[in-house]
Amino acid sequence: MATHMAKCFPAWLSFFLLALAASAPDSAFAQQPAAQKPAGAPPEPSPAAASQDIAVLQNQSRSHLRLDRPSNPVEVYLYAPDEKVDVLPSAFCGGDEGAKQFSGAYRLVSVAGNAVVSSLALDPDTNFVEKKPHDGARLYSDSKTGQQLVAIFQYGTCTSETVQFFSADPTGLLYSIPFLDKDGRSWKQKLTGPTGQIPRLPDGSSAFCANAPDTGYNFCEAYAFDGANFEETAKWLTSEQAYPEKGLDARGQAMRSLYDFLAELSEKKFPAAAYHYVGYSPSTGTAQAAARSVEKAKMLEAYCATEGGQCLMPSKIEGDGHLDAQGAMPFTVSLQTSDFEPLKINGRSSFDFRMWKTAEGFKVLDLPPRLP
């Protein structure tokens, strides 16, 4: 069948760009809470109709979870009125031969106090395969707040799953939980490994690590749940495969910042790249005072577009994590062209970059090389 074969992702930094789908109300399950209904909205279903709706959820849902809340427990159902069941004709990383695959217009539906409270539509291509992390909705208990969340895994690649989280307020109103990065960007989901494992760090943060086979690295990000959002606490790059959370150290964080800077320059995401760049003053041997982000973004765009800067994807980053005499952490980086060939300038195929520790984390001091 074609559904699972189409579910693969492009380059590492594009894994997160799936849009949150919205669908129009088509049943009692799609109605919004009364407080959010516009004027003229249809009335709430009768108690008899509500009981019938709940019975349908109980009998036909793909998953049923119970979220403990101070006043009333909230029941959450994963439900698709048009659910379709197929049997996988052959094995692939996201499913075994003969396994059932479920597809349809899935939504999460919450029930509290014997009433359907709210509904959230999931992405239209959401599907589930039995005996895999992406087999339905799962309960996730946050170690820092103790709050129970709903996790939805989806097959990404042979080395990754995506995961999205949802919760419900005390009234049972469902909402999606975003991931908020220090650079101001937000994401609706994150990558984790093929088993869906989410390690817990000593500070209570949840770590999301996924391997990018073409780089040989695990890309890791840690977030702390504050009751409404996942706030970034750390990002790092590591070659540690078995326990990538152990790669969280100064070297790993500096490498990740450098990789993100170069990758974002290559993808022309200059405002994002500006967050990682601090600049360098040869006269003082120290990092310059940070310019405004908008000014830095414009400078980086000009450097890459008109000043000969070779703003290319990194293929290899090397460095032992030690500081130089000026207090910077040096690395050598190999860059690759759009044809996946190594960049060579005057016989050199690796280039020097230094990282500077700031209150916001490690920042890049040097720009990519220019052509002579």
Percent of residues, the chain, with pLDDT higher than 70: 83
pLDDT band at 311 (very low <50, low <70, confident <90, very high): very high
291 pLDDT more than 90: no
Give the length of the chain.
372
Strand partners, 118: 110
pLDDT band at 256 (very low <50, low <70, confident <90, very high): very high
107 pLDDT more than 80: yes
- Tokens 């760009």 locate to 17
The answer to whether 54 and 114 have CB atoms below 8 angstroms apart is yes
3-class secondary structure, 371 = coil
The residue that leads in pLDDT, 48 or 4, is: 48
Q: Which pLDDT tens digit goes with each residue over 112-148? A: 988 999 999 999 999 999 999 999 999 999 988 989 9
32 pLDDT more than 80: no
For the segment 170-188, the average pLDDT, to the nearest whole number, is 95
Question: Residue 19's pLDDT is what?
Answer: 27
Residues 91-130 as b/e (b if ≥16 CB within 10 A, e otherwise) read eeebbeeebebbbbbbbbbbbbeeebbbbbbbbeebbbbb
Q: Which pLDDT tens digit goes with each residue over 233-253? A: 999 999 998 899 999 999 999
Q: How far apart are CA 142 and CA 244, in angstroms?
A: 20
Query: What are the angstrom distances between the C-alpha of 243 and each of 160, 203, 220, 256?
Result: 15, 17, 11, 17
Q: How far apart are CA 335 and CA 318, in angstroms?
A: 12
Question: Residue 208's pLDDT is what?
Answer: 97
Does the pTM exceed 0.95? no
Q: How far apart are CA 139 and CA 74, in angstroms?
A: 12
Q: Which residues contact 313 (CB under 8 A, 6 or more apart)?
A: 262, 263, 266, 335, 336
